[in-house]
Amino acid sequence: MKNKNKLALLAGAAALLIAVGFGGWKYWKSHQTVQVERLALDGESSQKIIASLMNREYGNKHYNKEEDCWDIDHGDRTYCMKPLSLDRVRADGEDRLYLFVGGYLSESSNVDSEGLAGAFVFKSDGNELIAATRDLTYSSPGGAMPEAVKLLQISRSGQMGWLIQSGGDLNEGYAFREPHLFVPKNGKVVDTAADLIGAHGAKQTALNFDYHVDASKSDSEYYPLLLTVRDEAKKVVASYRFQFDSSKWKYFCGDKTCGEQGSLPSSDDDESTDNDDVDQPVQPPANANAALFSDGTELSAADLKDVLAAIGATYVVKDQDTWGFVTDKCHTPFKLSASSPEGQNDSHDSLWITGGSECTSGNTGQSMWLFLRGEDGHLRANLGVPASKATATSDLNNGHYDLRLSGNGFCEAVWRWDGSQYQHLKNIATQPGGCGGE
């Protein structure tokens, strides 16, 4: 009888240990495993949470009932912000919600090239924000919203990031799908897609760019990001690897092929496959005017001299494939293009010149020059700085609109007309740390 009691006690103790051990394992597992669930935007609880947060972040009075979105003024445009994705993430034993919203322009044109988004991380009850940025900007033809939003786990501890591809397949079969990876940092949300590759050009329209993380490297806190490019037959045509630099909070190229885009088809828009065209390559432009204007426009000899002298450039043709402009310091030919504002194609009283290289413009890769005709009849450079885009704002001073130039990281420069020329007015940081800030 005693032996039976002992056996019963031992069996009970063993069962208790197993139960405690299993419960402990479940607790440990729940705190180690990151679980992601995409929630339906039209669910009753989702709609309540979204409406509460959007009213708080964008203002209840800015709710556009007709379009079911929230209006926000950005620059000289008004975007209507709509929820695009809502995810519940359980990490470290805590539930968090990740909301990504996109803005669209009720009236847009091909002149618009900036998309607007908002990204928010908050406690599951919807009341306590963890990270938020209501006006993330990114390049997007027509200011269009991204077609899809993908939430990726980029670290072992549950750091998440929203992956979008802005743009799309544009007119005349041209592909522009630019990847952006927005990740929370210090209460804000920033774009970490430094070297990520997207589709550019007619020959890449049919390609599928699939971005995913490599979680096999368990000894690394932040996972590498992998890109697999497939053609229409789902055949892999290229693969790339990007490493996360936590000190810079960016993904950079992890192999030597990234910079050259590996074996991707050329982004050149020339789709001709006629054998006659192969035997008859396109000739370099005959002169500097032809190199500046693709539509046959020509500057007068005096205007052309003024423009090239201000830039310090000379047009050269080294061989069939190597031609463009050079300077005293930059001997590798680079391209320049010229355009006049609408209605001034004949007078050329105003002229934009865009182009350059890393040699002329540093990491931005190109510069922009604005030429205005002076009272003496000569075209003079009002500004010439590294920039990828110039936008006229709604602020009018002395008969000229302020100009906002972007392309130097998360810092945009505003230039103002002082009565005789444009002068640098101020810098505006578009993300935390921009313009040399912390």
Per-residue pLDDT of 207-251, as tens digits, reads: 889 999 988 755 678 999 999 998 888 888 888 889 999 888 999
Q: What is the pLDDT of residues 104-132, one digit of tens each?
A: 887 765 556 788 999 999 988 767 899 99
Q: Which stretch, 16-30, 85-99, 270-284, 337-351, has highest mean pLDDT?
A: 85-99
User: Tell me, what's the pLDDT at 36?
Assistant: 92
Please enumerate in sequence order all residues whose Cβ is within 8 A of that of 101, keeping only pairs 6 or more positions apart, or say none: 54, 81, 82, 83, 84, 117, 118, 119, 120
Residue 70 predicted with pLDDT over 90: yes
Cα→Cα distances 230→151, 210, 213, 234, 422, Å: 21, 8, 17, 5, 48
Q: What is the mean pLDDT of the chain?
A: 82
Residue 143 predicted with pLDDT over 70: yes
- Whether the full predicted model's pTM is greater than 0.95, yes or no, is no
| C-alpha–C-alpha distance, residues 423 and 438, integer Å | 26
Q: What is the pLDDT of residues 285-300, one digit of tens each?
A: 889 998 998 777 889 9
Q: Pick the residue with more confidence: 178 or 343?
A: 178
- Smallest Cα–Cα separation from 78: which of 57, 58, 105, 96? 105
Q: What is the pLDDT of residues 391-436, one digit of tens each?
A: 888 888 888 888 988 877 778 889 999 988 899 999 888 766 677 7
Q: Which stretch, 96-100, 196-200, 208-212, has highest mean pLDDT?
A: 96-100
Tokens representing 200 are: 């550019």
